[in-house]
Structure 1
Amino acid sequence: MKNYLLIFSALVFVIFIGFAGASNSEKINSELLPSVATSQIIIPTANGSFNEEAPIPSQCYTKTEGTNNPCYTCHQTYNSSKNDKYRTNLRNDGVNQGLYNFSDEGETNSWKNLFVNRQPWIKKISDKQIAQYVDQDNYSELAKKLTATDWQGFIPDLKDYHLASEAFNDKGIAKDGSAWVAFNYKPFPGTFWPTNGATDDVLIRLSPEFRQLNGQYNENIYLINLSLIEMSIKELTEIDIFSADENIIKRDLNGDGKFTANVDLLSTQEYFVGDAHQIEIPRQQYPVQTEIMHSVRYVGVNGEGNTYIPKRMKELRYMTKTQLLNDSAIDSAYRRERKEKLDEQLPSYIRVKDRGFNNKFGWLIQGYIEDYNGELRPQSYEETFFCMGCHSAIGTTIDQTFAFPRKITGRAGWGYINLKGMKDAPSKGQQEGEILQYLQVNGGGNEFRENMEMFNKWYKADGSVDKEKVKKADVFELITPSKQRAYAMNKAYTQIVRTQSFIHGRDVNITPAKNVHKKIDESVAPLKPEHRVEGWDLRLDWSAKPEN
């Protein structure tokens, strides 16, 4: 099998090294980034995977020393007794905090990029060069290039997306009429904090009937339907909305038994509104044809030394909901997943050509990533296979998604992501701020506990967290890097881009990782029982008042 995977065509080389041919970026970026020999460039396979356990993320190989727990944010078991609210995620994998449930193949850490010393590469790039590279637009030409290659999958259609917040109005709705909606959410703990190498945003789009009233686009209808999904995902009985006229919508939105002209509270509904009024609201699932787009970007640094979301994208990720699963189908899917894990079977997913991988839970997943010249190109088979671990069957997600359940609840959460002024809201059911809790439970600012800037900033000399200092800071201050670290992380990642070595890992590290296993000893539990965390919820309690 692996000998077969070594065979590739000239076409594959063209697609993955310089997508759709040479462009101005080839000349520009040859002056900004060091070149590498062709022999150092990895050519992704068109089909199949060298790493047959690519869905196991690098973070699962962390050396926890039995006490440092980054595992709880992904692996959880929830009480599903009759007295508790039903949760559609039935993976219940909290036990994985206490054991390595890996196949023989998975026991070997294939994420070789973790162990590369990036310092020599970093020294070759000046701050001015990396700042210029990061501020380039590598998004706008993608749609044209995909169309030219007769691409049959998703073709990004949001105008000016490279401009980040400028592409949206103050309610998060795309200015170009494409119906993409940005929302403000708290980045998932660990890897997705900007201090660990990337900024990001997430958008959602519903199909036309959810945006229309009598066949015409209606902003109120659209935002109300999005809010109804939010209520379902978060198990809320009411949520605040932008003022709406019940007489026009023909629905008692606030449940007071009458139609009112100015309503700003939405109560539980059985059906969506507008032209989707006959569609029942699914429980903790998104409607069919829901689309989610996620850009992962470099960390921009402005003239004042503050970080921001720049133009250049490292990746563009896309999901589309193709099927609703009933309770029986959900239960069967999770039972099958658990059995495959217990039997130590290798993961397998159906690839629907250019449309991406079927994650077995009603979603198709595809992505785009930088080629050698920094232009976005379609991910290869193995590069997309990597995405399946987090978006198929881990215990904490809701309908296999992370960001939307973490949206600032209600009206205040519609708008492009903005961490400034955002409070460290606790996880649902917890008392302390989520970031404060993570720093204490994990013992570091990323899963590998090797972000020394976070140690120096938020920990005391004795290794304990400086709680009072953390409580006084907003999310932006807590999880964004210094100018120097941002530059270094950006530079380090470009070596992965130049070598196209994404199949060996996308984590940004400056020096070789030390707190990471190269080989798993399954006889040693990841964590001692007293250091495991039960009942953690990725949803947040935005109504909670900060502890004094």
Structure 2
Amino acid sequence: MRRLTLLVLLATAAPAHALDLTATVLANKTAYIPPQCYTRTEDAQGAVHNPCQTCHTLPRSPNFVSDPDLQQDYAIPGPALENPWTNLFVDRRAAVAATDAEEIRDWVRADNYLGADGRPVLAARLDRLPPEWDANGDGAWAGYRPDASFAFDDAGFDHGPDGRMTGWRAFAYVPLPGTFWPTNGSADDVLIRLPEAYRQTSDGSENLAVYKANLAITEALINRADVVIEPMDEGRLGVDLDRDGSLGTATRVVFAFAPLEGVTMHWAGRAGTLGPKVAPLAAGLYPLGTEFLHSVRYLDPRPEGVTMAPRMKELRYMKKTSWQSYAELEEGALAEKKEDADFPDRPKQFFGSAEAGIPNGMGWRLQGFIEDAAGDLRPQSFEETVFCMGCHGSIGTTDDSTFAFPRKISGPGAFRDGWYHWTQKGLAGTPDLVRADGQGDYAHYLRTNHAGDEFRSNTEVISAWLAQGDLTPEKAVALQADIAPLITPSPERAIALDAAYRMIVREQSFVKGRDATIAPQDETVWRRVEQDAPTGIAEPADPWFYRLKR
């Protein structure tokens, strides 16, 4: 067994290709089309599955990308008809079985982000920029330099080794159905940070109450709904949060946005003094300069359950670098729709670099870091970053290009009102998100996809939750109070998924796919699709937030 394990490690250690971080030419011209888009939506028995609804759906303004039609046919450009994500068809079963469970546990528990001094190792490497990472050749790193310490206080705020706040704040959310359930390969978290002006009083002094108020205002704007807050002194903040006409003590941020009628909201503190050109505000949009940090991690089976591992697979970053009005966003969506209609086989074009990141066309710049063959974090290549555009680009389900924050946990009984990191409280006890039609979001996904992942290869979920082919009323009721039993894998599955993904890391074959699949996916994934072929989905499913009457 030891000899077999050694042979497997040697076989997977050699990089599949030489990585060039300065390149901006794509080998896969449609790297922005995710592997999940190649799923076979009809099974051998003729039953129809709908994983497409997670991304392609009716939007809510100011997202003007309406794409529920993509639930019904494979509208894929000609150059992408041949599935480029060949890692989906690799058979890793023997190699996974040969992996020592204790060894993989040790691997995932080794922190590849923080050094012994509590500072990000990657930031130090960027200070001494390796020449092969220097895409523009100027000797200095032009992109995001990791600065989160993942040391959170009771309100979810991150603190550096010196005790000072970094500005990052963790929040808990109901993970998007499918790929981002831990049972399908990874644990993840998301942090948000607003610019300094949103963390300061009008005189420029750092103030936690101002920051909390502006984060609550942001939450109200994104959800287009009121937000319950801890009691806040509106006089000190300089804003009437509850819109009662006086500056008293507010326990709620009241959402109101009808600018044509002269109704709008206002930022607290210094941001509220800067005016709309510097600190614009609109429903459904984040403040200019907002940042998100998203770590994707291995799974760690422990006696208390499967948790988020210290080892990061990826560190993803996005920043809102430019403001687009509703009109500009709508114009951009219409222009892209026309481009797709006029030139259906023309791949999308992206600009930027591995170092500076890539703009998504809607005001955000995306960048990322991923493991090298030895397990240390390195910058993603240009092509590896274009991969991120499939989800944070033009799809109907996002709010201002994001997924997690609109799904933030909040409301009566919510632990710390959702402002915490998963290391402070795990998924246990997290209720299912309630859709606008009254169904649980996860219950709806299981009923319409008849599986717990896009590829329908998670037999553990199917046997435990869909043994008779459908979700029983009893299982649906259980999900209302706790989603953890559904989306948390068994320790054995977690170990297998960790091992499968590490093989991709050692190959450095991310451009062929980064899903932790174990067996070949031929039964549920197309190697080649027929352009515009029907999916068999008769009626597009509505999104969880859909509130319009037909």
TM-score exceeds 0.5: yes
* Residue of structure 1 aligned with 2:529, choices 503, 513, 520: 520
Q: Which amino acid aligns with 1:509?
A: T
Amino acid at match of 1:117: D
- 1:358-369 counterparts in 2 under 5 A? 358-369=359-370
1:467 paired with 2:457, answer no
The separation in 1 between residues aligned to 2:148 and 2:440, in whole angstroms, is 35
Partner of 1:62: 39
Residue 283 (structure 1) shift: 2.5
CA deviation vs aligned residue, 1:299-346 (integer Å, no higher than 9, x gap):
111134x11111100000000101110122111211122123222211
Are 1:456 and 2:488 an aligned pair? no
Q: Could you list the per-position Cα deviations for residues 50-80 of structure 1 after superposition, in whole angstroms to 9, with x for gaps in the alignment?
A: 11111010100000117100011111125xx
Closer/same/farther in 2, CA of residues 254 and 354 from structure 1, 3 Å limit:
same
Structure 1 portions without partners, runs of 5+? 1-29, 79-85, 162-166, 540-548
Q: Secondary structure at the match of 2:11?
A: coil
Q: 1:264 aligns with which of 251, 271, 285?
A: 251
Q: Which residue matches 2:126?
A: 146
Q: For 2:286 and 2:359, locate their aligned partners in 1 and report how far apart those are by CA, in whole Å.
A: 16
Q: Relative to structure 1, is the Cα distance of residues 302 and 289 closer, same or farther in structure 2, using a 3 angstrom cutoff?
A: same
* Change in CA separation of 1:346 and 1:64 when aligned onto 2, cut-off 3 Å: same
Report 1:336-485 matches (<5 A). Answer: 336-342=335-341, 343-344=343-344, 345-352=346-353, 354-409=355-410, 412-417=417-422, 418-427=426-435, 429-460=436-467, 462-473=468-479, 474-485=482-493
1:538 and 1:458 map into 2 onto residues whose CA distance is 26
CA shift for structure 1 position 383: 0.4
Code of the residue aligned with 2:327 in structure 1: it is S
Distance 1:76 1:505 in 2: 24
8 Å contact kept, 1:319–1:366: yes
Is contact 2:110–2:311 with CA below 8 Å preserved after alignment?
Answer: yes
Cα distance change of structure 1 residues 511 and 233 upon mapping to structure 2, 3 Å threshold:
same
Task: Give the secondary-structure state (helix, strand or coil) at the position aligned to 1:377.
Answer: strand
C-alpha spacing 1:380/1:280, structure 2 compared with 1 (3 Å): closer
Unaligned runs of 5+ in 2: 115-120, 130-139, 256-263, 274-278
Q: 2-side partners of 1:535 and 1:388: how far apart?
A: 20
Q: Is structure 2 residue 68 aligned with structure 1 residue 73?
A: no
Offset at 1:455?
0.8
Q: Which secondary structure does the structure 2 equivalent of 1:320 belong to?
A: strand
Q: Is the 8 A contact 2:93 2:519 kept in 1?
A: yes
**C-alpha distance in structure 1 between counterparts of 2:294 and 2:27, whole Å:** 26
Query: What SS does structure 2 have at the residue aligned with 1:230?
Result: helix
Q: 1:180-224 CA distances to partner (integer Å, 9 max, x unpaired)?
A: 000110110000000000000000101111001122211111111
What code does the residue aligned with 1:453 have?
A: E
Alignment of 1:297-312 (within 5 A): 297-304=297-304, 306-312=305-311
Distance 1:39 1:534 in 2: 45
Distance 1:32 1:205 in 2: 45
Whole-angstrom distance in 2 between the partners of 1:469 and 1:64: 24
1:224 partnered with 2:213? yes
1:537 aligned to which of 530, 536, 545: 545
Kindly provide the amino acid, as one letter, of the partner of residue 51 in structure 1.
Answer: N
The one-letter code of the counterpart of 1:316 is L
Q: 1:353 to 1:35 in 2, by over 3 A?
A: closer
Distance 2:234 2:391 in 1: 40
Please give the alpha-carbon distance, in whole angstroms, between the structure 2 residues aligned to 1:420 and 1:39.
39
Q: Does the residue aligned with 1:355 lie in a helix, a strand or coil? A: coil
- Is the contact made by 1:426 and 1:433 (CA closer than 8 Å) also made in structure 2? yes
| C-alpha distance in structure 1 between counterparts of 2:12 and 2:72, whole Å | 44
Show CA shifts across 1:495-540 (max 9, x none). Answer: 000000000001111111120001111353013314x31344389x
Are 1:173 and 1:180, in contact at CA under 8 Å, matched by a contact in 2?
yes
Matched-pair contact (CA < 8 Å) for 2:320–2:365: yes
Equivalent position amino acid for 2:533 in 1: V
1:325 aligns with 2:312: no
Does residue 205 of structure 1 match 2:193? yes
Q: Secondary structure at the match of 1:282?
A: coil
- Does the Cα contact within 8 Å between 2:77 and 2:531 map onto a contact in 1? no
Q: Deviations over 1:129-171 (max 9, x none)?
A: 0000000111121111111113221010112x3xxxxx11121
Normalised by the length of structure 2, the TM-score is: 0.86
Please give the residue correspondences for 1:87-98 in structure 2 after superposition, counting only pairs within 5 Å. 87-98=61-72
Shifted more, 109-118 versus 348-357: the winner is 348-357
Q: What is the one-letter code of the residue matched to 1:73? A: T
User: Does the CA-based 8 Å contact 1:32-1:125 persist in structure 2?
Assistant: no
Aligned equivalent of 1:14: none
- Describe the SS at the equivalent of 2:159: coil
Counterpart of 1:519, as a letter, is R
Asked if residue 488 in structure 1 is aligned to residue 496 in structure 2, the reply is yes
Q: How is 1:11-50 mapped onto 2 (pairs within 5 angstroms)?
A: 34-36=9-11, 40-45=15-20, 46-50=23-27
Q: CA–CA distance in 2 between the matches of 1:216 and 1:391? A: 34
1:150-229 equivalences in 2 (<5 Å)? 150-159=140-149, 161=150, 167-176=151-160, 177-213=165-201, 214-229=203-218
Q: Distance in 2 between matches of 1:180 and 1:39?
A: 37
What's the TM-score, normalizing by structure 1?
Answer: 0.86
Kept in 2, the 8 Å contact 1:77–1:95? The answer is no
**In structure 2, how many angstroms separate the alpha carbons of the residues matched to 1:388 and 1:245?**
41
Q: Structure 1 residues 132, 353: closer, same or farther in 2, change over 3 A?
A: closer
